[in-house]
Chain A
Amino acid sequence: MNLLWKTFPKGGLHPRQMKSRLRGKALWNASIPALSIVPLLQHRGEPADCLVHPRDTVREGMLIGRARSDSSCHVHSPVPGIVKYIDEITLPWGEKTPAVFIELGGEFNRLGKAVHTYPWEGIPGDRLLTILSDKGVVGMYSGIPVHRKLTIPKGKFVRTLIINGIECEPYLCADHRIMVEKAAELVEGARIAATITCAPRRVIALTGDRPDALAALREKVREMKADIEVRALWSKYPLGDERQLIKAVTGEEIPSGGTALDAGAVVLNAATTLAMYEAVVLQKPLIERSITVAGRAIRDQANLKVRIGTPLADLVEECGGFTRMPEKIIVGGPLTGWGLSELSAPVTKTTAGVLFLSPKEIRNSRRTNCLNCGRCTRSCPMGLQPEAIYKWVEHSAYEEARGEGILDCTECGCCAYACPARIPLVKEIRAGKMILQSGGV
């Protein structure tokens, strides 16, 4: 640990990382699924309009869902094949969306072909934005379409561009592998983002406990003579959250209810930056992503490059099957991810990992009365008092909960993770937020 590594000042915690055996595992290509399930809603906003019909033939990377409006995003076919049917599915986070079921068949037009690079330098920012929107690039955690995020409204300026390589959630290592294996592409992607945002200061931020990624990135930055700072920070959860990361890097706080732009910053994840590179330089739509498959209930933990739309059941097979029945199947990280009941859901653009956990890893225990211990308050990075908010929501006193700052909660999960009484703080807070945001009290 280095005392000079900065982090955010308030709250946060150090969950067990569980990454030591995963960090060293190189990304490998998972096999292409025989049947892909491609949801038309993989982003924040409206679903895309379906462009295909059953029995249509689709090519790899072909547009199959067209953005319905500005708050929507294109969806491309991850594999060549034939559309079997179109059906409604439920996404891990409970939203329902139509999805295109594609049976594999025919020829790949990218896989195994020579790559052509597209000379992007000199192209103006708005053209680059159009490319990103055409290729369906979204934030690989948040699902916010990147062209929307990078469109800077008049009167706002970006002072700092931050490439987020923090990946502070336990287990997840896919971003780490990207930084190690694709450092050059990442730096190039960062330069594209810098061109679009015109940010005078560009920072690649990652935690200091990963010397291999730090070295790789620093070397590439030097080689490519890019004007980018590679910055080591002190790992604390949730440093990967935009708010905490901006605070740690620039010292500015996003005002309550504001966005990153209000603090003069734009934050892009490492995986997102790589997708931007591929979209612009390789002209490749967003049809695959890196994920981590981990947990004690799966035989081979791995970092994989998978096609979007791969059903989770295929991943289990890819990783050698279960060693025992998992207590929980989690899509995403263990602190913010969603618990699933079955394996039929597919990998989407925002799936950073799939975890199969044993009871020992979950460490649940019986619920008791609140002890007033204050662990929730001390761990809250937003300076809230989760236990007080919880009590208001429990008594349906939503306006009081608003006064306690319920809408500032980022649902990072720290409070409920730390609570010894196992009170479902985040669950209640989320319910209260939903009621307040939908306006019905």
Chain B
Amino acid sequence: MKQEIFVTSSPQIYDDASTTNIMWSVFFCLMPAAAWGVFSFGVWAAAVLCTALASSIAAEALCAYLAGHPGTLWDGSACVTGLLVGMTMPPAVPLYVPFFASLFAIGVVKWTFGGLGRNWMNPALAGRVFVYFSWTRAMTTWSLPGVLRGADALSAATPLGFLKTGMSQSAEFFRTPMEYLREHGYPRSLLDGSISDWLNARLLEPLGISLPQGYADLFFGFMAGSIGEISSFLLLAGTVFLLARKILSPAIPASYFGSFGLLVWIFGGLPLGGEYFTGDILFHLFTGGLILGVFYMATDIVCSPVTVPGQILYGCGAGFLTFLIRLYGAFPEGVALAILVMNVFVPLINRITRPFRFGAGKGARL
């Protein structure tokens, strides 16, 4: 009997959260949105996801073996990275693109610094940005989901890209992005009309507001975009679970959305020729992969700040950068770059937001 009982130092019990179950929870919370991508874009999307996953698993196994710590696959972090890489790919991308993205993410970003927890950039995002600059054409060719696909519209722009190109070409002014999409015939699903009508009739009318048509498409994922980013609805559903389990800390998403939303509301109308305080927050929240980026990449526990004030600073910074790049920069999608830039600042943020020591205050005469 003596041999069967451990002798251990305190604490004797642990929190539910462990590396493994955090990673696998994130993985499974991403699944519904990924599945929606496959459903919308067809078999090729599935092939892209599988390539990204398989190559990231293979890269992890190889790197771990070379580094002399085999057996890191079970912790799930490589699978999360692989899945995220796949989910940020355009649906019709050639398979070598996700392959190299995963390889770069795992092999270079994660393992040159020593594997899990040592990287200072989100591997999936870095992988995505790497292939974006290497194969820009392939990474900017989008297609529409099956339900929207007309005879001629096999490739199409994302709503944000559509708006961006339109703005640079024409001199006409539109008050809102939705108006622009509508006028220029951005495809819309049948569902959108019925959902908007239902919402307006049942919920919003008594409150004296009305939801213009088009937003439901953006929210539920009837638009062109990366495989995993289009359905904000399913991504948010996963997020609820992660927040409830305290796997995500709410400070980063809250400050990110807060700062981004505020800036968009104040200045977002200007590039379209509108006035201050007319920006379309909803449109900007549900496009450009913001939901995916904020909840699953900016909050990456490895490379976000440690303390809550630090997280708020980081979230605000990322929100500000996203706003800048998206509205004034050359790329329509600012999320990835904004988060990567903020990743670089994390050590600095951690240093200036160190916690105050207990008992070191006024009472301590040092």
* A residues adjacent to B (C-beta < 8 A): 10-11, 13, 15, 170, 243, 247, 252-258, 262-263, 325-330, 332, 334-342, 355, 357, 361-366, 368-375, 377-378, 380-385, 405, 408, 411, 413, 416-422, 424, 426-427, 430
Is residue B307 within 8 Å, beta carbon to beta carbon, of the partner chain?
A: yes
Q: Which of B5, B14, B118, B305 contacts A417 (CB 8 A)?
A: B14
Q: Which of A339, A374, A419 contacts B307 (CB 8 A)?
A: A374
A382 to B357, CA, bound (A): 6
Is residue B134 within 8 Å, beta carbon to beta carbon, of the partner chain?
A: no
Minimum CB–CB distance for A423 against chain B, Å: 10
Decide: B19 and A420 in contact? CB cutoff 8 A: yes
Interface centre among B7, B20, B301, by most chain A C-beta atoms within 10 angstroms, is: B7
Interface size class of B (residues with CB under 8 A): 35 or more
Within 8 A of A (CB), among B12-52: 12-22
Minimum CB–CB distance for B366 against chain A, Å: 8
Tell whether A341 pairs with B363 under 8 Å between CB atoms, given A10-B358, A363-B16, A384-B357.
no
Is residue B306 within 8 Å, beta carbon to beta carbon, of the partner chain?
A: yes
Q: B358 — which chain A residues lie within 8 A by C-beta?
A: 10, 243, 247, 253, 256, 381-383, 408
Total A-B contacts with CB atoms under 8 angstroms apart: 187
Q: Which of A255, A327, A332, A370 contacts B359 (CB 8 A)?
A: A255
Decide: A374 and B305 in contact? CB cutoff 8 A: yes
Minimum CB–CB distance for B171 against chain A, Å: 49
A374 to B361, CA, bound (A): 23
Within 8 A of A (CB), among B329-366: 354-361, 363-366
Q: A341 — which chain B residues lie within 8 A by C-beta?
A: 2, 5-7
Decide: A339 and B306 in contact? CB cutoff 8 A: no
Q: A337 — which chain B residues lie within 8 A by C-beta?
A: 10, 12
Minimum CB–CB distance for A257 against chain B, Å: 8
Q: B72 — which chain A residues lie within 8 A by C-beta?
A: 368
Decide: B15 and A255 in contact? CB cutoff 8 A: no
Q: A256 — which chain B residues lie within 8 A by C-beta?
A: 357-360, 364, 366
Tell whether A377 pairs with B363 under 8 Å between CB atoms, given A243-B358, A420-B18.
no
Within 8 A of A (CB), among B232-261: none
Minimum CB–CB distance for B73 against chain A, Å: 12
Minimum CB–CB distance for A379 against chain B, Å: 9
A–B complex contacts, Cβ < 8 Å, 5 sampled: A10-B358, A255-B365, A342-B2, A413-B11, A421-B117
Q: Which of B4, B13, B360 contacts A335 (CB 8 A)?
A: B13
Is residue B8 within 8 Å, beta carbon to beta carbon, of the partner chain?
A: yes
Q: Give the residue name and chain of the A residue nearest to B301 (CB).
A: A373
Tell whether A342 pairs with B5 under 8 Å between CB atoms, given A365-B20, A370-B117, A383-B358.
yes
What sequence of 0s and 1s flags, for each residue 96-117 of chain B, a beta carbon within 8 Å of any chain A beta carbon?
0000000000000000001111
Is residue B280 within 8 Å, beta carbon to beta carbon, of the partner chain?
A: no
* B residues adjacent to A (C-beta < 8 A): 1-2, 4-22, 72, 74-75, 114-118, 301-303, 305-308, 354-361, 363-366
Majority DSSP secondary structure for residues of A touching B? loop
Decide: A385 and B355 in contact? CB cutoff 8 A: yes
Tell whether A371 pairs with B2 under 8 Å between CB atoms, given A262-B363, A378-B308, A417-B13.
no
Interface centre among A334, A357, A373, by most chain B C-beta atoms within 10 angstroms, is: A373
Q: B10 — which chain A residues lie within 8 A by C-beta?
A: 332, 335-339, 411, 413, 416, 426
Q: Which of A253, A381, A385, A417 contacts B361 (CB 8 A)?
A: A253
Q: Give the residue name and chain of the B residue nearest to A13 (CB).
A: B15
Q: A411 — which chain B residues lie within 8 A by C-beta?
A: 10
A327 to B354, CA, bound (A): 38
Minimum CB–CB distance for A352 against chain B, Å: 13
Minimum CB–CB distance for B130 against chain A, Å: 22
Minimum CB–CB distance for A392 against chain B, Å: 15
Q: Which of A340, A368, A408, A422 contacts B14 (CB 8 A)?
A: A422
Q: B116 — which chain A residues lie within 8 A by C-beta?
A: 368-369, 371
Interface centre among B16, B118, B363, by most chain A C-beta atoms within 10 angstroms, is: B363
A373 to B13, CA, bound (A): 19
Decide: B15 and A420 in contact? CB cutoff 8 A: yes
Minimum CB–CB distance for A141 against chain B, Å: 13
Decide: A380 and B7 in contact? CB cutoff 8 A: no
A189 to B354, CA, bound (A): 43
Minimum CB–CB distance for B6 against chain A, Å: 6
Decide: B355 and A377 in contact? CB cutoff 8 A: yes
Decide: B357 and A408 in contact? CB cutoff 8 A: yes
A158 to B115, CA, bound (A): 54
The list of the 5 closest CB pairs from A to B, nearest first, reads A374-B306, A413-B11, A339-B8, A365-B18, A373-B301
Interface centre among B16, B72, B308, B364, by most chain A C-beta atoms within 10 angstroms, is: B364
Tell whether A371 pairs with B8 under 8 Å between CB atoms, given A256-B359, A385-B354.
no
A258 to B363, CA, bound (A): 10
Q: B365 — which chain A residues lie within 8 A by C-beta?
A: 255
A372 to B13, CA, bound (A): 21
